[in-house]
Amino acid sequence: MFRFESIEYLYLLIMIPILILLYVGYKMWVNREVAKLSEAALFSRLSPHFSWLRKHLKFGLLMAALLFLCVAWANPQWGNRKEKVKAKSSDVFIALDISQSMMAEDVSPNRLERSKRLAQSIIRALRGNRIGLISFAGSAYLQMPLSQDYAAAEILIASANTNQAGTQGTAITDAIDLATRAFEDDKDYQRALIIITDGENHDDLAIAKAREAQESGLVVFTIGVGTEEGGFVPFTERGRESYKKDEMGNPVKSQLNIQLLKDLSEAGGGEYFLIQEGNKIVQDMKKEIDQIEKQEVEQRSFSEYASYFQYFLGIALILLFIEYLISNRGNLSKASSIFEV
C-alpha cells in the first residue's frame, strides 16, 4: 500500500510551473534589452562566454531538484505489513435523481450539479462506512455496490448526468426497492438510504415502500432539491437551447415536492433536509448515520510503513551539486564579457 505521509508538501509543486513562466519572461526581457544595445552578431563577439544552453541546463537541474525535494518532504511510504482488523461500519446507499427536471436552475448552478456536490461532501463525511450508489429517473440503476472505494464513488457522482437515464420520471419506489435488495438480508443491523431528489412525477407507492423498508431495518433520509416556486427545465433541441413545454407550448415549471419528501422520511424513520441548508446537511447526516446500529466488518490495513524519502533527497542533492559545477561562463582565461547576465 503506497501513501505519502505528509501529502500537503506536494502542493509546493505548483511553484515549478510558476518559476518556469518567470524564467521564460526573464529570457524574453534579456533578449529585448540586448537587442536595444547591439545586433546578435556583435553581441556574440562582445560576450563570447554567454550561453543560453548552459543557463537552460542549470535551470532545468534546479527545477528537477525542486521536484525531488517536494516528493522527499512528502515522505513516500510503502506498507510492508498487512493485518486484519475489526471495525464498526454502517451500510449507506446514496440514491441520486438524474431526471430531466433536475436540470432546473432554481438553485445554482442547477439542481443536479448542486446535488452532485452535496453527495460528494456526504461521501467524504461518511468515510469509514460502506457506500453504494443508485441513480434513478424513470427507473433505478445500481451505479456502485457497497464499497469503501470512496474515490470511485466520487468519480461516479461527478460523471452523473441526465443522458444516463433510459426513461424519464422520478421512480423513487424503484430506488428504495433496489437499495433494499442490494443489502445483505442475512445481516441483523440497520442500513441507510439517502435520496436526493426534487420529488417531481413520483409514483404513489413510494411512501408505502419506504414504510416497508423501515420495518426491515432500512432508514430512509430525503434531501429536497429545488424551490417551491420552481424553475423552468432547460434542454437542447437540434443544437438549440430551449425549455420543456406543455401541450399548449408554454414553458413548464418544475417544483420541489416538499410534502412528499417529508412523508417519505417520516415513513422511513429518517429525516428530511433541504439542499439550501448546505454544510449543515452534511454535519447532521453524519450524526444521524453515526447513531445507526452498526455491523462489525473485517478490514485489511497496513500497520507498518517504510519511508523512502532518502532516495528522493539524495537525487535532489546530486542534481544541485551538478548544477553548482556548471559554470555560468565559459573559459575564464578569456576577456570578461561586458554583459554579465
Confidence of residue 39 (pLDDT cuts 50, 70, 90): low
What is the pLDDT, as a whole number, of residue 90?
Answer: 85
Q: Using a pLDDT cut of 70, give the percent of the chain over it.
A: 80
Q: Which range is most confident: 26-40, 84-98, 208-222, 303-317?
A: 208-222
**Mean pLDDT computed over every residue of the chain:** 83
Q: Does residue 103 surpass a pLDDT of 60? A: yes
Residue 300 phi, psi (nearest 5): -100, 130
Q: Between the CA of residue 4 and those of 1, 71, 72, what are the distances in Å?
A: 10, 9, 9
Q: pLDDT band at 326, cuts 50/70/90?
A: confident
Q: Residue 235's pLDDT is what?
A: 76
261: CB partners within 8 A, 6+ apart: 195, 197, 199, 222, 223, 224, 272
| Total residues belonging to the chain | 341
Going by the DSSP 8-state scheme, the letter that residue 142 receives in this structure is: E
Closest CA to 143 of 184, 154, 290: 154
Regarding pTM above 0.85, the answer is no
Please report, for the chain, how many H helices and E strands are present, in that order: 10, 13
Task: Say how many CA atoms lie within 13 Å of 296 toward its Cβ.
Answer: 3
Q: What is the pLDDT of residue 163?
A: 86
Domains of the chain: which residue ranges? 2-75+308-325, 86-299
pLDDT higher for 83 or 177? Answer: 177
Q: Flag whether pLDDT at 289 surpasses 80.
A: yes
Dump pLDDT digits (tens) for 157-195. Answer: 999 998 888 777 778 999 999 999 887 655 556 789 999
pLDDT at residue 43, as a whole number: 55
> Is 50 exceeded by the pLDDT of residue 69?
yes
pLDDT at 25 over 60: yes
Stronger pLDDT, 79 or 171, i.e. the higher one: 171
pLDDT band per the 50, 70, 90 thresholds, residue 340: very low
C-alpha–C-alpha distance, residues 210 and 272, integer Å: 13
- pLDDT tier at 331 (50, 70, 90 boundaries)? very low
- What is the C-alpha separation between 75 and 291, in angstroms, rounded? 37
| All cell numbers assigned to 10 | 506536494
Give which of 1, 3, 151 is closest to 71, Cα–Cα: 3
Domain at 86-299: CATH architecture = 3-Layer(aba) Sandwich (3.40)
